[in-house]
Structure formats: structure tokens, C-alpha cells
Amino acid sequence: MRRRALLGAGPAAALLALRPVAAQPVQGRPIRLIVPFAAGTSTDIVGRVLADALGRQLAQPVVVDNRPGAGGAIGSELAARAGADGQTLLLGTVGTHAINASLYKRLGYDPQRDFVPLGFVGATPTLLVVPAAAPWKSVADLRQASGRTVSFASAGNGTSGHLAGELLKLRLGKDFVHVPYRDGAQALNEVVAGNVQFMFYHPAAVLPQVRAGTLRALGASGAKRSAAAPEVPTLAEQGIADFDLVAWFMLYAPAQTAAARRERLREAAQVALAEPEVQRRLMAQGIEPAAMDAPQMAAFAAAEIEKWGEAVRRSGAQVD
């Protein structure tokens, strides 16, 4: 199934008809939702929206546990090693479950073997932003910049922002310098301050700065413009061929989760993600929801691993 068709699809009407899952807490313990990035990041914001909605469906507390580091690999490995009782879930991303499979020489988990998908949360193109004081008004201007005098920030090695920057280097034939940070918020602050020249990051994080006049958006990384910033042209529209990198989020359970518990969690996730208020909150973050069943999620994830693997190989990016 083509990714664009999936992203353009609305939530399945059948999901709206599903009733909330019956409350069956495990020994009264809250569910732990591991978010493998720092508090305050875009992934963290999405995780908290999801935790609230999932908790309502299960009538059981869902607590966000931020475990950042190594492009999301630390938290993802922790989730992969969790027990089979369904008390630990993971908010996976394009980085943790597509990019990392090719970017890291030694990854402590297998994105496909160690996890089962429960619900596709949504996807968003990232925005290429520069400080407001920068001389560049378009990607064409950035093409004229002098090589290693230009650096780009990311939320860490292996993130979608890192790889987008590497691919831009490749497409423009430049030698831009990558500067990884501990998290996206820190990286964004450095770009706003002018200490780093550009970064690719989620619309929800950068648009307040763009509208405040401290950042300028030069382009969107997807095949189509961001619904949150339709005035920003895509890189493809600006002559950067074959540039279609979209960040996405998916809820996972460890593969060893008991089958009955897995199905109950999947139903709860599907119903929660179809709630109009949840979709409104996601759209406010620039994330476009899409309904997928279990086979579609598995096929989507497999295709993304292949797509991003090719992107990693073409860019030459590698993390030990």
C-alpha cells in the first residue's frame, strides 16, 4: 500500500462504532508508555496525548516514561525487553523503527521481530528552518552557501532530522557539518540563537518561532506541504528531486506480549486514535492521522525500513 494513500485516508468509520474496551487492569498497576525521547519534545507531546486517550479506553492509568538517548534506541531496547503482561508499551517513531535499522551498526533490538504494532498515530513532514537573521530566503539560497561554514542541528544521531540534513547535503553537493544535540528542544534553541545554521524539525515545535519572527521556514520535507504550514513549499517544489522524508509515530507492544492482552490493547488504541478530540490535538501538532489495521501497519513499517535504509546508504550516514 502506498504511503501517501495511507496518510490521506481518514479514520475508518468502523473504529468510531467500537465501544471502549472493558476495564481489566493488571493487578492495579499503571501501564508504562515509554517515550524514547526527552520530555518537552514533539514525540513526548504526542505520547501524552496518546496516554490520556488510551487510559480512558482501558480505565487504567497510562504513565509516560521518557527514556531518551541514541536516537531513541535506548528506550526502544528497554521496551523490547519488557515482560509479556502488556504493562509496558512504546511510542515508536520513524527513527526508532525505520532509520535505526540501517543507521546503527549494532542495534540492541530488532524493529520488526521484537515488537508488534498496536496503532498508527500519524505522520508529518518536517520543516527546514534557519535563524531569522540568516541570509537565506529559499533552498536555492542555501545551495549557494559556503560548505563547512554551515552546520545543521538535530535531536541526535539517527533521528529523522539528522538524516534529512544528510540527504540535503547530498542533494545540494555541500559539506554541511552535522551537530547532534541531546534532544530537539536544545537543538532548536541553538538554531534560534544562530549558533547553528539550520535544522529539520516538526512543525509543532518550530512554527511558534517562525510566527514570532525568530526563525524562517525554507521548505517542507514531504511529498506534499504540511497541513500545519501550507504556505511553506516542499523541497521538491524547489527543485530538490526525490526528497520525501516524513516523520511518523506508531504505538507498539513487545512481541512477547500475551496474545489476548495484545488484542485488547490494539482495540483500545484503535478506538482512542479515532476519537475526534485526539485527532484535533494531533492535527494541532501538525500530525495527520491515518487509520491502519494490523496487516497495514506491518506492511507500512516494512516498507519504511526499506525506504530509509536506501536513504541511509545513499547519504553515507553511519552511527557506531
pLDDT in tens, the chain (320 residues): 334 444 444 444 344 344 444 434 455 689 999 999 999 888 999 999 999 999 999 999 999 999 998 889 999 999 999 989 999 999 999 999 999 999 888 899 999 999 999 999 999 999 999 999 999 999 999 999 876 789 999 988 778 888 899 889 989 999 999 999 988 889 999 999 999 999 999 898 899 999 999 999 999 999 999 989 999 999 999 999 888 889 999 999 999 999 999 999 999 999 999 999 999 999 988 899 989 999 999 999 999 999 888 878 877 777 76
Residue whose grid cell is 535531536: 155
Q: Where are the domains of the chain?
A: 3-124+246-315, 127-238
Residue 22 grid coordinates:
472493558
Q: Are the folds of 3-124+246-315 and 127-238 the same?
A: yes
Domain over 3-124+246-315 is classified CATH 3.40.190.150: yes
Phi, psi (degrees; rounded to nearest 5) at 186 = -65, -45
First to last CA, the chain: 33
Max CA distance (Å), the chain: 62
Residue type, 85: D
Residues 187 and 153 sit within 8 Å (Cβ to Cβ)? yes
| SS3 of residue 305 by DSSP | helix
C-alpha–C-alpha distance, residues 123 and 289, integer Å: 7
Residues 110 and 182 sit within 8 Å (Cβ to Cβ)? no
pTM: 0.81
Domain 127-238: which topology? D-Maltodextrin-Binding Protein; domain 2 (3.40.190)
